[in-house]
Structure formats: structure tokens, C-alpha cells
Amino acid sequence: MRLPKFEYLGPKTVQEACSLLAQHGDKAKVMAGGTDVLNVMKERKIRPEYLIGLRAISDLSYIKADADGIKIGALTTLTDLANSAVVKEKFPCLAEVPMKMATVQIRNMGTIGGNLCNAAPSADTAPILICLGAKAKIAGPKGERVVALEDFFTGPGKTVLGKGELLVEIQVPNQPAKTAGAYLKMSRVSVDLAIVGVGVVVTREGDSCKDIKITLGAVAPTPIRAKKAEAVVKGKKIDDALLEEAGKIASQEAKPIDDVRGSAFYRTEIVKVYTKRAIKQAMEQAK
């Protein structure tokens, strides 16, 4: 299918992009890698008058380490995220996520910022980032603000980004010692969208789980924390009965829908199993 007609705007700086966004409002759509936006335009689900392509903003593609953790530019491609030596070293569970997404070509084009701003409930980069306590730096007409990524999503395709605002950076804080994570994705093949995604990050103390965060993808309007399941596990010695219980509670926190990829019932059952497995895997990694 061909694209509908639009005018292309290619700002060279974040400031310029924000002012174009503020100026054109709902008539404009922002595009990073284009792998989501161009498809929905081809399907005529959206027909923006102006497409604001961010490709010319070269200084939004970076991964920097500092004393607090790492900072990832919003235009960093999924390939660059997967290949980053510093991400592999500091957050191996995050470096593994892109390899569970899409195809080589799409990972070469798609960006971390685009995956988050597309705000699909199934966004694969979201669960682990939320578990790691990542923050989103947003630029806008009134300057910059930083929000917890957990609070970034407001519904399917919807985020806290206001008029003229642009996601510019993801900040991932350093984690305590003996902390590790796992992201498990259920899909027909890894190229597909997640039917269920479960992200877990644990801090281990002996055989106990000192701290834990669980985030579920594709089972609610946004990625959601399974806080009741976290409470079941936190501070306890991990055994099979406890994992079973955590999985059950997490599946009760999920609010999935039926769609072409899976039924709500199936998703609920998978949350049960994957929560259990993800905690187990993260605990192994955190040794």
C-alpha cells in the first residue's frame, strides 16, 4: 500500500522539533525510525498533514554511562542498544530485549524512543525499563521535565507527552549489587508482537529475594506493575510454592483482552507461568 499525502518536516534540533510540534498540534505526527508510524499511515488509520521526521537530529542517538547509570538517546536504534558494550555490561537484561523484537531490518530502523512513544501495550522495551526504574526525559516548549517511565504510558498509543513535547532520553539508574533481570516474551515467533511480556528485576540476598519489580506487558491498556505479586515474593526465600503463588497473584493483576493474538484466558494462564519462570531466571542471574 502507498502512503497518503503529507508534507515532510525535517527539524535539525530538538528545539526546532518541539516548536514545529507546538505549531502544528494534531495535524502533525512525529516519526523516529518509521516502522510503526508509516505502517499505520499506510493503513489510513492516521493521516497527518505534516510528518515530522527526527532523523536529522543527530545528537539524539547515544548511550552514555555516568555516575548515576546510563543515558540512552531516544533515537538510539534497537540494534545499537543490543550491541552496546556498556548496556551489556551494566544491564544485560536490557541488552537482551531487542533480540526478542522484530527482525534485523526493523531493529536497524526502529528506535527505543519510538517503541516507547508508540505506547503499544505490548511494547517490548517497556517492562524491563520500568523494572529498572528508568526515567523519561521530555523536552518541550516550557523546557525539560523528567518522569518515571512507569508513569509515562496513559493508554494504548497514549503517553503523558503534551503539546509540543518530545521524548529525548531514557535514563536507567545503577542497580544495587546482586541485581539482575529477565524479560520473557510469549509470541508465535519472536518477530511478532508479544501476546504476553513479563519483565522481572530482582535483588538477591542469599537464597532470598531482597527486592523485586515485576512488569507485565500486553495484558492491560499499558504495561503494568504487578505490585501484589511483588509483595508476595519480596523479602522471602524463593521456593517453588512461593513462585506458584506469585504467578497466580500476577495473573489476577493482569487485565487482558481477547484479540487476534490470544484470548484473555490464554494470556492470564501465560502470565502465571511466565512470572514464575522470569523470577526464577532473574534469581539465577543475580547470584
List residues binding other proteins (CB under 8 A). Answer: 1-8, 10, 34-35, 38-39, 42, 51, 53, 55, 79, 99, 102-106, 108-109, 189-191
Smallest separation, CB 80 to other proteins (Å): 10
Q: How far apart are CA 181 and CA 279, in angstroms?
A: 8
Smallest separation, CB 190 to other proteins (Å): 8
β-sheet bridge partners, residue 7: 50
Nearer to other proteins, 34 or 141 (CB): 34
Smallest separation, CB 31 to other proteins (Å): 8
Element (H, E) at 196: strand 196-205
164: three-class secondary structure by DSSP: coil
Q: How far apart are CA 156 and CA 219, in angstroms?
A: 11
Smallest separation, CB 3 to other proteins (Å): 4
Nearer to other proteins, 39 or 154 (CB): 39
Nearer to other proteins, 65 or 106 (CB): 106
Nearer to other proteins, 79 or 179 (CB): 79
Which residues lie closer than 8 Å to 66 by C-beta, 6 or more apart?
none
Nearer to other proteins, 100 or 227 (CB): 100
Side-chain-side CA neighbours of 111 within 13 Å: the count stands at 26
239: three-class secondary structure by DSSP: coil
Smallest separation, CB 55 to other proteins (Å): 5
φ, ψ at 240 (rounded to 5°) = -60, -40
